[in-house]
Chains A and B, each alone.
Chain A
């Protein structure tokens, strides 16, 4: 059957109008079904104005080499968050790790530095800066800062451009150069694992705070060297410590305002 031009356009027109109509009706009806509910924290959740951490490296040093070399805080964090153990140093992923004084505070390098200071181990993690460069540079808001100061990371929005890694002056971010799943020693079904191509880092255990628990590393440290608390509350434990003792922050001169303090 030959279709003339006029009929062709008539049929096409009816088709287009009816499909648009059906789609429109569907939209109107479905609109009524969607109810936007604001997310509310559960009643047992820990709420803070400005989360922060104090790490007492003296306690860590006193705990001895055995404890430092098999740091329970690192293990707890990496197991909780499905952080893979990739042997290749260049491709490794770490949320919290140990390094020495010179690497942690390179601007304080001094050849006459007291020997004992060189022995100090330092636990490094995301500083959850007040003024985070990674959040500023992320093109898609995949990394963003919460009201309580936690610098978050949306693994499902990240496009893997790695601008945040160039932006972070603390080397706190890791990228999944390869599929991380084969390198998981154990799997925690409570927390998402990642695919190749996205950036990740410490998230201050936001999911544990929601359940009223302290971060995994804080809970796991046997010598209580990690103290987590609210920097916005003058009566909190960490604010009391910071009032009494001299504390260092990494690269404070850059103006990023880290929320992780070190006691030595």
Chain B
């Protein structure tokens, strides 16, 4: 089936070429990072994780969100997602490839990465994260590829696939819960030490992921004449709306707990992110952007007229996507490391090489996504030809 990705229009190849430029630039900067060390990033003794892990965390959510399509389709026989499941599964595959790349890029000593398999520490959450992320990648590849292959052959999916699909459904929330546990079990990191971290991660994933799928599906409709159908768009829009409300509600619960209790440690990160702490408010413009995007997105999603209009729905989805992206990536990381263990502020700004390496990873993800979607579209085309 892979050969289907080798034939395409001029636009298809131009897009792949465009992505490749970013991959090459990112890779060149990564070579520099390998020789110089992580010193080329803006990270420091006090803010020891940054842009890489921020993007990683967000993308784990995108990967987990495939379940919002797969579960209704396979568990509740939600037929209108028929043309969507493969898009969801392959989005998960691309997001997971980005996640794994980002984790390896963030390592100080990447050549020793297999020490995690040689000497795994059973009490380290990171070990479990390696297991669930790789497992989920494998499950989605198996499920997506097998279903696609049976479409290609014109047969129905093999019966052994059913249990694997159900396993993937159960597995999806796990990847995000385990990723939340990386943060929420650390003593002394006030912003992260909260039991609502895992649920907040899940609802933010289940809003930003389907929002991203709405955007992707709308692009496919324009450039590839592949329509998931009006009802599928609307069904996704409802998923986005409910989970997005839950996401900001959970955030406000955190704000209530911090400020009503008045505990300085709990207030400090929120103050730093939104209004300033010890005279520092480097990320406040970004966090307020997230809030404004959230309001815009919610208004567009809650008014039936704008939700049902595809253009405004795509705008709302973009707002949701970037709102979650800001809060859950850079906001989460900088908030967790500020204030530092001495209740002071060490500022962090990603450097140019850091941003370019991350962009390279995103370009790689989009390249994988494009190739996988291209195969799906070609198989669909053939299916329609045979049926007509």
Q: Determine whether the beta carbon of B116 is less than 8 Å from that of A139.
A: yes
Q: Does A85 contact B (CB under 8 A)?
A: no
Number of A-B contacts (CB under 8 A): 146
Known: A142-B115, A163-B126, A175-B45. A91 touches B39 (CB 8 A): yes
Residues of B within 8 A of A109 (CB): 343
Chain B residues near A166: list those with CB within 8 A. Answer: 48-49, 183, 186, 189, 336-337
Residues of A close to B340: CB separation below 8 A? 171
Contact of A256 among B41, B124, B187 (CB under 8 A): B187
Contact B346 A103, beta carbon cutoff 8 Å: no
Is B109 an interface position by the 8 A CB rule?
yes
Most B CB within 10 A of own CB, among A109, A168, A169, A175: A175
Measured in the bound complex, the distance between the Cα atoms of B115 and A166 in whole Å is 20
What distance in Å separates the Cβ of B30 from its nearest Cβ neighbour in chain A? 14
Q: CB distance A196 to B188 under 8 Å?
A: no
Per-residue 0/1 for B67-87: is the Cβ within 8 Å of any A Cβ (1 yes, 0 no)? 000000000000000000000
Residue pair B119, A165 in contact (C-beta under 8 Å): no
B42 to chain A, nearest CB (A): 8
Scoring A residues 234 to 264 as 1 if CB is less than 8 Å from chain B, else 0, what string do you get?
A: 0000000000000000010011100000000
Residue A209 interfacial (CB < 8 Å)? no
A102 vs B44: C-alpha distance when bound (angstroms) = 22
B341-373 residues with Cβ-Cβ distance < 8 A to A are 341-344, 346
A109 CA / B121 CA spacing, docked (Å) = 37
Residue numbers in B under 8 Å from A171 (CB-CB): 45-46, 340-342
Q: Is A157 an interface residue (CB 8 A)?
A: yes
Expressed in whole angstroms, the minimum distance between the Cβ of A156 and any Cβ of chain B is: 9
Q: Are B113 and A159 in contact (CB under 8 A)?
A: yes
User: How far apart are B294's CB and chain A's nearest CB, in angstroms?
Assistant: 27
Q: Which of B39, B110, B124, B265 contacts A137 (CB 8 A)?
A: B124
- Return B36 CB to nearest CB of chain A, in Å: 6
Partner of B119 from the list A103, A140, A178 (CB cut-off 8 Å) is A140
Task: For B39, list chain A residues within 8 Å (CB).
Answer: 91, 177-178, 196
Q: Given the complex, which residues of A lie within 8 Å of B130, measured CB to CB?
A: 139
Cα A141 to Cα B37 with chains together (Å): 22
> Does residue B123 face the partner (Cβ distance < 8 Å to A)?
yes
From the candidates B46, B49, B119, B336, name the one contacting A157 in the complex (CB within 8 A): B119
Q: Which of A102, A142, A195, A197 has the most CB of B within 10 A?
A: A197
Task: Point out the residue from B36, B45, B46, B109 that lies within 8 Å of A160, measured CB to CB.
Answer: B109
Contact (Cβ within 8 A) A157 B112: yes
Given A138-B124, A139-B116, A177-B43: A165 and B48 within 8 A (CB)? Answer: yes
* Bound CA span A70–B113, Å: 40
Q: Does A161 contact B (CB under 8 A)?
A: yes
* A222 CB–B CB distance under 8 Å: no
Out of A104, A136, A160, A256, name the residue touching B342 (CB < 8 Å): A104
Q: Kindly list the 3 A-B residue pairs having the minimum CB-CB distance in the complex, ordered from nearest.
A: A160-B108, A169-B188, A197-B108
7 other A-B residue contacts (CB within 8 Å) besides A106-B343, A139-B126: A90-B44, A91-B45, A139-B127, A140-B119, A162-B108, A177-B43, A177-B44
A sample of 27 inter-chain contacts (CB < 8 A) reads: A89-B44, A104-B342, A106-B342, A137-B123, A137-B186, A138-B121, A138-B124, A139-B115, A139-B130, A140-B112, A140-B118, A142-B115, A157-B119, A158-B108, A159-B110, A159-B113, A159-B116, A160-B38, A161-B108, A166-B189, A171-B45, A175-B38, A175-B48, A178-B36, A179-B36, A196-B36, A198-B108
